Amino acid sequence: MEKYDVLRPTYVLETELFRKNIERIAKIQKDSGVHFLMALKAFSVWKAFDLIKPFFDQCTASGPWEARLGHEEMGGLSHTFSAAYSASDFNEVLEHSSHVVFNSLDQLERFHQQCIDYSHPISIGLRVNPECSTIETDLYNPCAPGSRLGVAKELLPTVLPEYVEGLHFHALCESNSYDLEKTLSSFESLFGDYLPQLKWVNFGGGHLVTHKDYDVDHLIKLLHAFKEKWDVEVYMEPGSAFAWETGVLVANVLDVVDQRGIKTAILDVSFTAHMPDCLEMPYQPNVRDAKKQEYDGGIKYRIGGNSCLAGDYLGDWWFDKALAVGDQIVFEDMIHYTMVKTTFFNGVKHPDIALKNEDGSISLLKHFTYDDYKNRIS
């Protein structure tokens, strides 16, 4: 196994892999004529944005802080959607946004005039519910029954207010172009009557265009057909796709605890603090040089975190050899939806963030200190 030259637990973003994803998305953007926006909710390592900016200059944001980060560090104004805006935050949203999308007719009515009157142009959009999803897990599914996200067709007026310039839908999660095709068919069926009056449509996120099996040619045909039919600008805002399989989380074994035949390797990272999706959602990263299934000669370990939460562990994995204190454990594909969700629970030290350069050297982007922990509390 490759041993990473890091002193502490570290998220390692690999420049070569990241660049390949960016270039692939940029080519799809050029060939399709649609606009790709990077979703900050999935990846916000702004010190790596210099790799992105030659191809993309706008982000999609979920509120005032993400909108500001996208504006400050990518250069362009953000496309912002929030489930609900507060009056106290809304001017900050407008300051850093070119597009603002509302989640309800009440919020649209409450805030649209501020958008119209703002000092720079704000394009107003409305999120709608296409009532179609290929996602099986409701936790990920914005179109689940009773979803709070997106306005249902029956609530819309026959004609949208003239200041509404776009519609936004989001129904996918690490999905392929055929899932988009099904969702797009439902969207057109429900909301096609509104499209002739609009300037743009945002297809939301969840488009895993950098997956090795993604049918890019099919996507491009789908996008060309939609643009030709409706004569609107199209936006897509994948998050995972930019950072998909671009790096790892490196951890180390601190102890091996054997309780009644269950060996637990306790690491210097925490799943609840540093990889919360492993506990919150049905997601498990691969562990390098380990298997999830029993095999001849394999030695079984439960992989445990270092917090006090009893359930802070990943499950059982089989290794070729016994684990010992100091061994590196590498979790694959841990760059998207990780650092944006980490916490300082238990005061556990946060992993460093580093860049693996194309010459193999490691550049430290961020080292967290006690002050980061203390100042977050008060």
Question: Among 339, 337, 336, 279, which residue's Cα sits nearest to residue 307?
Answer: 279
- The CATH code for residues 33-243 is 3.20.20.10
Question: Among 69, 137, 166, 168, which residue's Cα sits nearest to residue 282?
Answer: 137
pLDDT tens track, the chain, 378 positions: 678 989 899 999 999 999 999 999 999 999 999 999 999 999 999 999 999 999 999 999 999 999 999 999 999 999 999 999 999 999 999 999 999 999 999 999 999 999 999 999 999 999 999 999 888 888 888 888 889 999 999 999 999 999 999 999 999 999 999 999 999 999 999 999 999 999 999 999 999 999 999 999 999 999 999 999 999 999 999 999 999 999 999 999 999 999 999 999 999 999 999 999 888 876 889 999 999 999 999 999 999 999 999 999 998 999 999 999 999 999 999 999 999 999 999 999 999 999 999 999 999 999 999 999 999 988
Contacts of 340 (CB under 8 A, 6+ apart): 40, 41, 42, 43, 44
Give, as one character, the DSSP assignment of residue 208.
-
Q: What angle do CA 304, 310, 316 make, to 5 degrees?
A: 35
Q: Is 192 exposed, middle or buried (0-12, 13-18, 19+ CB in 10 A)?
A: exposed
Q: What is the pLDDT of residue 1?
A: 60
Cβ neighbours of 302 (radius 10 Å): 16
Under CATH, what is the fold of the domain 247-334+342-377? Lyase, Ornithine Decarboxylase; Chain A, domain 1 (2.40.37)
Work out whether the CA dihedral 35, 24, 229, 182 comes out positive or negative: negative
The helix or strand, by DSSP H or E, that contains position 183, with its residue range, turns out to be helix 177-191
Q: Is 109 exposed, middle or buried (0-12, 13-18, 19+ CB in 10 A)?
A: exposed
Phi first, then psi, for residue 324 (nearest 5°) are -135, 160
Residues of the chain with CATH 2.40.37.10: 247-334+342-377
pTM of the model: 0.94
Residues of the chain with CATH 3.20.20.10: 33-243
Question: Among 280, 313, 316, 318, which residue's Cα sits nearest to residue 299?
Answer: 318
Question: Among 354, 262, 338, 347, which residue's Cα sits nearest to residue 299?
Answer: 262
Location of structure tokens 């010459």: 359
